[in-house]
């Protein structure tokens, strides 16, 4: 581990493992809950290389180490054998049940996508090789390679169990054991089974995912219950046995049937939709609107639905084909902008993101160009919608869980050549339609004007721009010198030079264009990094990490691209004050030592059009 030696010294100086009850972190510091603070060697800890300062107060024992605290904390809790409380706090912050379920499904599917894509692509190429006669479907080579595909999908419940166990507070190994039992030849699709005299329905657990997610959720709840009531000296031996003996019958009697009913319900809904309107409308809408879903962080929501279709019907009639058409339409839209653009830098941007979208990675295009120029969304709605409409009308089927240009061969599975041809036509329609629409719609005039003005300003002020980077105001209010901030880590300048603002507005905006480098789970702090390398920390309030996200509505996430003046968070500062916390917004340049100076604004009051800091390069 990168910080193992550093963490070993911290553990020793806070009084050892046995003295640490809990440890969480915010943007810059580790917050220890110690059983006995007198055992901590505070002065020695302050002198430790890598520690900026130590603050001990009624709130917590705080070790300030800087903005890389997240990496240090991750290794520290592993060495201490503790659970990440920040993860638990993040769970508490998700109060919307529907959002929590969607987040669970999305985050569960993300790590499982890797083997699924591998098996899906392999199935596509094997089908293509079989059609062209390169490999016979009856040959040992074909059957051995095809076993990769069949094994991944047969044992899908095991992958799902491993992926979601930790998030649902269950042991990953017990969750995998339960999944392995469900897909074993003794239970999977076996008729006539019974337990405790109760007859069990014949169930196919292989290839499924809903029953095991429900079962692992129950396992997590049972684990918490047993850890609370079973004596500690018996837990190691007794808890695993009780968990398995209780979870298996409950899964077979309750969660298995519920999971199958949910799957059948999803199938029934889309069957009604198909019989009423035709599935073409869903394919068309998803192909047209997928970029919006990706922008909202819901890009993976279709994966469980596609899996359910493949398990029930042997193919997906909607989502995977629509996703492929949409991705390639994004590439077409960026090609249209590439052909239309005159500025060399813009051409480079559009060409790069067009190629990445063609390969199935659309996030660079969506966050790098779509959000800024807006009209490409319309181009994809036109091109992707037309391609999706054709695919829906031709009843294009996706036989494997795969999408993107490389997955096209899979559409010829089961010797269905016409299906492959219709899919290729759909993709071409989406690509060409979006490219033409983007070229005709063009780059907004205001963006062209901005580019022109920027080039003129660069020509006139190149020498000045090379010497300084101005930061706009993050919030309107009254300026407070950093030395007066009631937090030693900031007031001493240990975390870098900066400024404090007592807010009179509830909107916190980006002081400069760049990338969101960090958003703390409790939403009270945001990190930004500019193209010049300036690292900005925006800390909203003092000790507001304890509010666990209350009063904060932060709308950006790590990795987002933001522009100067863009809204980052809406904060109820009055609520923060009523809760007894200091609402001062602190802005510091955490890599101050890399620059000649950081100069704060001189005026008392600051407004949205003002500058709060100037970084001298």
Residue range 4-40, pLDDT digits in tens:
889 999 999 999 988 988 887 766 678 888 888 889 9
Q: Which long-range contacts (CB under 8 A, 24 or more apart) does 300-304 make?
A: 300/105, 300/106, 300/109, 300/110, 300/113, 301/102, 301/105, 301/106, 303/105, 303/106, 303/109, 303/113, 303/401, 304/105, 304/109, 304/209, 304/210
Q: Can you give the pLDDT at residue 562? A: 92
Q: How confident is the model at residue 466 (pLDDT cuts 50, 70, 90)?
A: very low
Query: Is residue 178 assigned to a domain?
Result: yes
DSSP letter, residue 398: B
The last residue of one of the domains, among 23, 54, 82, is 82
Q: Can you give the pLDDT at residue 450? A: 44
25: helix, coil or strand?
strand
Say if residue 117 is in the same domain as residue 41.
no
Separation of alpha carbons 128 and 412, rounded Å: 7
- Whether residue 540 is predicted with pLDDT greater than 60 in this model: the reply is yes
- Whether residue 463 is predicted with pLDDT greater than 50 in this model: the reply is no
Residue 138 backbone phi and psi in degrees, to 5: -95, -5
Q: Can you give the pLDDT at residue 233? A: 82
pLDDT digits (tens, 9 = 90+) for 567-583: 999 999 999 999 889 99
Is 312 or 511 the better-scoring residue by pLDDT?
511
Q: Can you give the pLDDT at residue 352? A: 80
> What's the average model confidence in pLDDT over 519-542?
90
How do 29-34 and 61-64 pair as beta strands? Answer: antiparallel
Say if residue 253 is in the same domain as residue 291.
no
Q: Can you give the pLDDT at residue 447? A: 52
Q: Can you give the pLDDT at residue 274? A: 66
Say if residue 226 is in the same domain as residue 259.
yes
Q: Can you give the pLDDT at residue 412? A: 81
Say if residue 183 is in the same domain as residue 219.
yes
26 a catalytic residue: yes
Q: Can you give the pLDDT at residue 364? A: 65
In this structure, of 130-139, 265-274, 293-302, 414-423, the range with the lowest mean pLDDT score is 293-302
Say if residue 371 is in the same domain as residue 423.
yes
Unique residue bearing structure tokens 């979208």: 357
Query: Is residue 437 assigned to a domain?
Result: yes
pLDDT digits (tens, 9 = 90+) for 332-389: 999 999 998 887 777 887 888 788 788 766 766 776 678 677 888 899 999 999 999 9
> What's the average model confidence in pLDDT over 56-85?
75
Q: Can you give the pLDDT at residue 502? A: 94
Is 117 or 452 the better-scoring residue by pLDDT?
117
Q: Are 214 and 104 in contact (CB under 8 A)?
A: no
Q: CB-based burial of residue 85 (10 Å sphere; 0-12 exposed, 13-18 middle, 19+ buried)?
A: middle
Say if residue 495 is in the same domain as residue 373.
no
Q: Can you give the pLDDT at residue 107? A: 65
Nearest to 124 by CA among 424, 321, 399: 399
Q: Are 383 and 434 in contact (CB under 8 A)?
A: yes
Say if residue 404 is in the same domain as residue 288.
yes
- Whether residue 317 is predicted with pLDDT greater than 50 in this model: the reply is yes
Query: Is residue 197 assigned to a domain?
Result: yes
Say if residue 441 is in the same domain as residue 353.
yes
In this structure, of 86-95, 110-119, 568-577, the range with the lowest mean pLDDT score is 86-95
- Whether residue 422 is predicted with pLDDT greater than 90 in this model: the reply is yes
Query: Is residue 462 assigned to a domain?
Result: no
Q: Can you give the pLDDT at residue 473? A: 93
CATH number, domain with residue 484? 2.70.70.10
Nearest to 141 by CA among 120, 125, 117: 125
> What's the average model confidence in pLDDT over 539-557?
89
The last residue of one of the domains, among 222, 257, 273, is 273
Is 403 or 255 the better-scoring residue by pLDDT?
255
pLDDT digits (tens, 9 = 90+) for 203-237: 888 877 788 999 999 999 999 999 888 888 888 88
What is the average pLDDT score of the chain?
82
The last residue of one of the domains, among 82, 108, 143, is 82
Query: Is residue 90 assigned to a domain?
Result: no
Q: Can you give the pLDDT at residue 598? A: 87
Say if residue 316 is in the same domain as residue 374.
yes
Question: Could you write out the DSSP letters of every residue in 498-515?
Answer: EEEEEESSSEEE-SSSEE
> What's the average model confidence in pLDDT over 29-54?
85
Of the CA atoms within 13 Å of residue 467, those in its CB half-sphere come to 5
Is 127 or 454 the better-scoring residue by pLDDT?
127
Helix/strand number for the chain, H first, E second: 22, 20
> What's the average model confidence in pLDDT over 501-516?
93
Say if residue 568 is in the same domain as residue 580.
yes
Separation of alpha carbons 11 and 52, rounded Å: 16
290: helix, coil or strand?
helix
- Whether residue 449 is predicted with pLDDT greater than 60 in this model: the reply is no
Domain region containing 438: 277-446
> What's the average model confidence in pLDDT over 412-432?
89
Query: Is residue 455 assigned to a domain?
Result: no
Residues 6+ apart with CB under 8 A from 63: 10, 14, 29, 30, 32, 45, 51, 54
Q: Can you give the pLDDT at residue 583? A: 94
In this structure, of 365-374, 423-432, 519-528, 603-612, the range with the lowest mean pLDDT score is 365-374
Query: Is residue 526 assigned to a domain?
Result: yes
Q: Can you give the pLDDT at residue 299? A: 56
Query: Is residue 91 assigned to a domain?
Result: no
Percent of the chain at pLDDT exceeding 90: 28
Q: Which two tokens stand for residue 617?
A: 């390069």
In this structure, of 289-298, 306-315, 461-470, 553-562, the range with the lowest mean pLDDT score is 461-470
Q: Can you give the pLDDT at residue 235? A: 84
For the chain, the domain total comes to 4
Residues 6+ apart with CB under 8 A from 263: 208, 210, 308, 311, 312
Nearest to 502 by CA among 474, 523, 528: 474
The residues that bridge with 571 in the sheet, in sequence order, are: 552
Residues 6+ apart with CB under 8 A from 501: 473, 474, 475, 477, 478, 479, 480, 584, 585, 586, 587, 606, 612
Q: How confident is the model at residue 464 (pLDDT cuts 50, 70, 90)?
A: very low
Q: Which two tokens stand for residue 540?
A: 């909203």
Say if residue 363 is in the same domain as residue 257.
no
Say if residue 107 is in the same domain as residue 37.
no
């Amino acid at each position: 581990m990168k910080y193992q030696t550093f963490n070993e010294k911290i553990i020793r100086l806070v009084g050892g493992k046995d003295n640490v009850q809990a440890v969480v972190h915010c943007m810059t510091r580790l917050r220890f809950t110690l059983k006995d603070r007198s055992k901590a060697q505070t002065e020695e800890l302050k002198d430790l290389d890598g520690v900026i300062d130590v603050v001990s107060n009624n709130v917590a024992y705080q070790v300030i180490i800087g903005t890389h605290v997240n990496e240090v904390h991750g290794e520290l809790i592993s060495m201490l054998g503790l659970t990440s409380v920040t993860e638990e706090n993040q769970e508490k912050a998700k109060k919307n049940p529907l959002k929590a379920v969607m987040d669970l499904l999305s985050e569960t599917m993300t790590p499982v996508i890797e083997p699924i894509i591998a098996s899906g692509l392999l199935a596509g190429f094997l089908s293509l090789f079989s059609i062209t006669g390169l490999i016979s479907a009856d040959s040992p080579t074909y059957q051995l390679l095809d076993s990769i595909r069949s094994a991944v999908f047969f044992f899908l419940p095991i992958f799902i169990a491993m992926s979601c166990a930790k998030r649902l507070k269950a042991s990953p190994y017990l969750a995998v054991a339960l999944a392995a039992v469900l897909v074993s030849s003794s239970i999977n699709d076996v008729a006539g089974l019974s337990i405790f005299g109760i007859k069990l329905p014949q169930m196919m657990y292989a290839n499924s995912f809903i029953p095991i997610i429900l079962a692992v959720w129950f396992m997590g709840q049972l684990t918490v219950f047993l850890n609370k009531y079973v004596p500690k000296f018996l837990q190691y031996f007794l808890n695993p046995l009780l968990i398995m003996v209780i979870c298996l019958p409950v899964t077979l009697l309750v969660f298995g049937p519920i999971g199958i009913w949910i799957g059948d319900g999803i199938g029934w809904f889309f069957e009604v939709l198909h019989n009423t309107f035709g599935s073409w409308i869903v394919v068309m809408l998803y192909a047209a609107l997928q970029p919006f879903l990706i922008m909202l962080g819901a890009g993976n929501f279709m994966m469980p639905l596609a899996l359910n279709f493949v398990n029930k019907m042997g193919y997906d009639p909607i989502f995977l084909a629509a996703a492929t058409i949409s991705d390639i339409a994004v590439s077409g839209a960026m090609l249209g902008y590439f052909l239309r653009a005159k500025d060399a830098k813009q051409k480079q941007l559009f060409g790069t993101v067009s190629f990445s979208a063609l390969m199935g990675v659309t996030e660079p295009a969506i966050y790098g160009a779509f959000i800024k120029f807006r009209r490409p969304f319309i181009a994809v709605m036109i091109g992707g919608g037309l391609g999706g409409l054709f695919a829906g009308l031709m009843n294009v089927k996706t036989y494997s869980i795969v999408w993107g240009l490389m997955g096209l061969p899979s559409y010829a599975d089961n010797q269905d050549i016409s299906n492959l041809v219709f899919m290729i036509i759909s993709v071409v329609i989406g690509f060409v339609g979006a490219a033409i629409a983007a070229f005709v719609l063009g780059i907004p005039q205001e963006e062209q004007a901005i580019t022109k003005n920027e080039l003129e300003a660069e020509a006139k002020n190149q020498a000045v721009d090379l010497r300084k980077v101005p930061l706009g105001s993050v919030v309107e209010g009254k300026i407070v010198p950093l030395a007066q901030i009631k937090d030693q880590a900031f007031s001493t300048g240990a975390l870098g030079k900066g400024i404090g603002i007592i807010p009179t507005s509830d909107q916190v905006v980006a002081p400069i264009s760049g990338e969101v480098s960090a958003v703390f789970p409790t939403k009270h702090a945001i990190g930004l990094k500019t193209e010049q390398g300036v690292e900005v920390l925006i800390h909203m309030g003092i000790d507001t990490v304890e509010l666990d996200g209350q009063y904060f509505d932060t709308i950006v996430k790590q990795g987002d691209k933001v522009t100067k003046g863009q809204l980052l968070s809406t904060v109820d500062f009055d609520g923060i004050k009523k809760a007894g916390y200091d609402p001062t917004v602190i802005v510091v340049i955490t890599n101050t030592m890399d620059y000649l100076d950081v100069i704060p604004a001189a005026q008392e009051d600051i407004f949205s059009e003002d500058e709060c800091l100037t970084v001298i390069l």
